[in-house]
Amino acid sequence: MDGGKGAVSEARLKSERQYREEICRFGKMLHERGFVAATDGNLSVRLGDGNILVTPTGMCKSMMEADDMAVVDQNGRQISGRRGVTSEIGMHLLIYQIRPDIHAVVHAHPPTATGFAACGQPLDQPLVSEIVVALGCVPLAKYATPGTPELAEALEPLVGDYDAILMANHGVVAYAEELEKAYMKMETVEHFAKISVVCQTLGTPQLLNDAEVSKLLLARQKYAGVTSTAAMSPQKNGHRNGNSVPTRPLRSFRDAFRESKRLIYSALALFLASARLITHRR
Ligand SMILES: [Zn+2]
């Protein structure tokens, strides 16, 4: 784990040109790692003057060039750029508005984490110590149509307390004081989702207890890369059912096997009963 307090002040000194190049670099990484497909996703950086440098609409994130970016003011009005601004700009503006400490936002659809979002399941179990410290709980925001003010409304209650959010039936948004860290959080969310799937598949996740989580949260305060207060204990956050669809635990293979066995036995019993009935009638 490496925080690096110096990174923030160094990041603030970057020129707009450097930010444009950084957006291209991390956009490419999102695409190469399969976190976005086609023209999905968007990235932004809050500039020193308060304006937002953001990816254009309708472009593959691995094919962008520095001059493709758009600049909008704090109300989302486009100031410059040869291409139109992403339709998801409202989500970025909301995060910058609520979190003055945040200077970069990354939105993507990484498949495993998005699968959790599509199943109405937050990533809120204390499974891995490093994730508790680096990220904390990743809550689930209720579903809203992408690109509409309703999406910002769904995110609003969660932005202050978390550094990454699952958006029901949509994807993930992660944010930090600089772009590299926002991107890293996106990677950690997807990694967390993959580990959660393995744990649920094996069927016996051993969760860290409250005392262990508390110690890790103390460690987090010393870790410069984490600015939110995102808790980890599932009992202590009220966002488990962010989606209106009720959540249900992932079934392990063992459960699935047991269930299919039960169905086969029921079908067999039904078949035998009908056969008996037919024979009896004859
Ligand atoms: Zn999206």
Q: For 20-69, how does the pLDDT look when each residue is reduced to its tens digit (9 = 90+)?
A: 999 999 999 999 999 999 999 999 999 999 999 999 999 999 999 999 99
Position 7 pLDDT exceeds 90 = no
Contacts for 173 with CB less than 8 Å, ≥ 6 apart:
91, 95, 105, 106, 107, 155, 164, 165, 167
Q: How far apart are CA 25 and CA 52, in angstroms?
A: 18
How far is the centre of ligand 1, averaged over its atoms, from the C-alpha of 67 (Å)?
22
Give the mean pLDDT of the chain.
83
Q: How far apart are CA 261 and CA 271, in angstroms?
A: 15
Residue 165 to residues 36, 153, 170, 199, Cα–Cα distance (Å)? 16, 13, 11, 21
**Cβ atoms of 60 and 32 closer than 8 Å:** no
The radius of gyration of the chain from alpha carbons, rounded to an integer in Å, stands at 23
Q: How far apart are CA 223 and CA 184, in angstroms?
A: 15
How far is the centre of ligand 1, averaged over its atoms, from the C-alpha of 173 (Å)?
9
Residue 115 to residues 15, 119, 136, 196, 248, Cα–Cα distance (Å)? 37, 6, 19, 12, 13
Region 156-163: mean pLDDT is 96
Q: Sheet holding 42-46: strands in order across?
A: 78-80, 70-72, 52-54, 42-46, 104-108, 171-176, 164-167, 140-141
Q: How confident is the model at residue 14 (pLDDT cuts 50, 70, 90)?
A: confident
Residue 191 to residues 12, 17, 115, 131, 135, Cα–Cα distance (Å)? 28, 31, 13, 9, 11
Spans of all domains in the chain? 6-236, 251-282
β-partners of residue 53 are 45, 71
**Cβ atoms of 51 and 131 closer than 8 Å:** no
Check residue 217 and give its pLDDT. 87
DSSP alpha helices (H): ranges in 139-252?
A: 149-159, 179-202, 210-222
The catalytic residue among 22, 88, 177, 190 is: 88
In CATH, the architecture of 6-236 is: 3-Layer(aba) Sandwich (3.40)
- pTM, two decimals, is 0.78
Region 169-173: mean pLDDT is 98
Amino acid identity for residue 52 in this structure: I
Q: How many CB atoms within 10 Å of residue 107?
A: 29
How far is the centre of ligand 1, averaged over its atoms, from the C-alpha of 169 (Å)?
10
Asked if 177 is an active-site residue, the reply is no
Check residue 3 and give its pLDDT. 42
How far is the centre of ligand 1, averaged over its atoms, from the C-alpha of 281 (Å)?
62
For a pLDDT cut of 70, what percent of the chain falls above it? 74
How far is the centre of ligand 1, averaged over its atoms, from the C-alpha of 80 (Å)?
23
